[in-house]
Amino acid sequence: MVCLRRVGRLAAGLCLAVLWSACSDTQPLGPDRAPASFEVARAGQGARRHVILLREGSAADLTAAVEQAGGKVLRSYGEIGALSVTGLGEAAVLALARRPEVEGINPDVTVRWIPPGRTQFRRLVRFAGPAVGPRTDQRSAFFFNVWQWNLRVIRADQAWLATNQGRGTLVCVLDSGIDPSHIDLQGKVDAGLSASFVSGEPALTDLAGHGTFVAGLISSNGLGIGSVAPDTRLCSVKVLGGDGSGSFDDLIAGILYVARIRADVANMSLGAYFSRKEEGAKELLKALQRALDFASRRGVLLVAAAGNDGVDTNTDPKDFIAVPAEMDHVVSVGATAPVNQLDFDRIASYSNVGKSGVDVFAPGGDFVAGSVFQDLIIAPCSPSIADPDIGTCTPFDYLIGAGTSFAAPHVSGEGAVIESELRGNRDGDALAACILNTADPVTGRRIDPLYGRGRIDVLRGAACRSGGSRATLVGAPPR
């Protein structure tokens, strides 16, 4: 999740158009208020698409029953006991819902998981350095010294020569796609493992620009910018369209896909609030949770943005849930940022907070009174972006911005670094435990009411050797 705005200026040798946070200051919500974003979260319902959830343990095949009812099975999720179907009339839905093996059948919901284009990106800077090959030691990246406080704060730069840097791991970005033609992403994205679950949009295009930005923070060639895990492979799993929207069914499909290909990390810089009491929400949330459970069991570390609503999760309405950040087996990531390059562990003005809903923090950037542009986060601009306010980005262009969307990939990159240091494929919760247990308790409290476990430390995380832990994710039941 991200909010950004543009101002313009010129710098020697650079084509510069700077953008900054467009989010208004948001007060934490009290227990009697629903998060404001919920009213705009549900962008609409999928055209006659339904998700059928089978009862736990049921091995029933409803394909024939769906077809007899005039419908068509689009996707069958045998791992979690669910199906995605289309073409069902109201009477057919009621008839299928009465079957003993069916726990629920509900319309799929299309969600605005990231903000609309007008609140997102503007072109920032054009790379003007020498065209050299990919680097593992990325301290000589063109923008590293001036712009990338984010990597220094979490000691990612110190880990570049002290670890395997994600070598042999795979991080999948569930987002609006990745455009691999950018100079910092060329050769980084595994095209064979990338997949799109959005009709009409290939996985290796990014009309929104969001997924490309996120991907470059996880792993880059070290030409324009450094990254957290320079030697990990990336894959693009497109679950959002160019307008930042996607359906529950598409997100579920994407999560199950990364589990099937046994990705090490799934980055989900997306989210929305839902009422647990809303009609149909229970079964959709349960289907999504089953997908997350399955992915975690298959060894996938699940990372999600905590949200940009300025919510104190300790006091927000308990009937609401941030999806997927507050779901079981998901590491929820809040954002930190300096002001005028001071106080780097300050919680960003927009970030959700609270140990009840945010596990850990990472750099996300901010722009408030007293801020300078260097307080934001820099990452690649998608050459396939389709935003009239930005125009056309070349493979040499970068953006800056702020959001918990940009904090999450720092954690995903750390997960890849840790996995590359450990022998064997660790389950998702074991990797999460390493991240949580090695975070820097910036307030001096091991678990702080606002900061949760603290701010991540990649170098310390890479030294994690234990697969077991007492750490518990905020969305997970106590172990």
Helix, strand or coil, per DSSP, at residue 51: strand
Q: Is 50 a catalytic residue?
A: no
Catalytic residue from among 37, 227, 371, 405: 405
Q: How far is CA 205 from the centre of its chain?
A: 17
Surface-to-core class of residue 208, CB atoms within 10 Å of its CB (0-12 exposed, 13-18 middle, 19+ buried): buried
Pairing between β-strand 233-238 and β-strand 195-196 as defined by DSSP bridges: parallel
Task: Measure CA of the first residue to CA of the last residue in the chain; give whole Å.
Answer: 30
- Phi first, then psi: give them for residue 149, nearest 5 degrees: -55, -30
Element (H, E) at 401: strand 397-401
DSSP class per residue in 410-427: HHHHHHHHHHHHSSS---
Please, are residues 380 and 213 in contact by the beta-carbon 8 Å criterion? yes
Q: Is 247 a catalytic residue?
A: no
Catalytic residue from among 108, 157, 175, 457: 175
Catalytic residue from among 37, 84, 182, 210: 210
| DSSP conformational letter for 24 | P
297: Cα within 13 Å, side-chain hemisphere: 9
Report which of 278, 328, 335, 339 is spatially closest to residue 309, judged by C-alpha positions.
335
A 10 A CB-CB count for 74 gives 18
Q: Over the Cα atoms of the chain, what is R_g?
A: 21
Q: Is 269 a catalytic residue?
A: no
Active site residues: 175, 210, 405
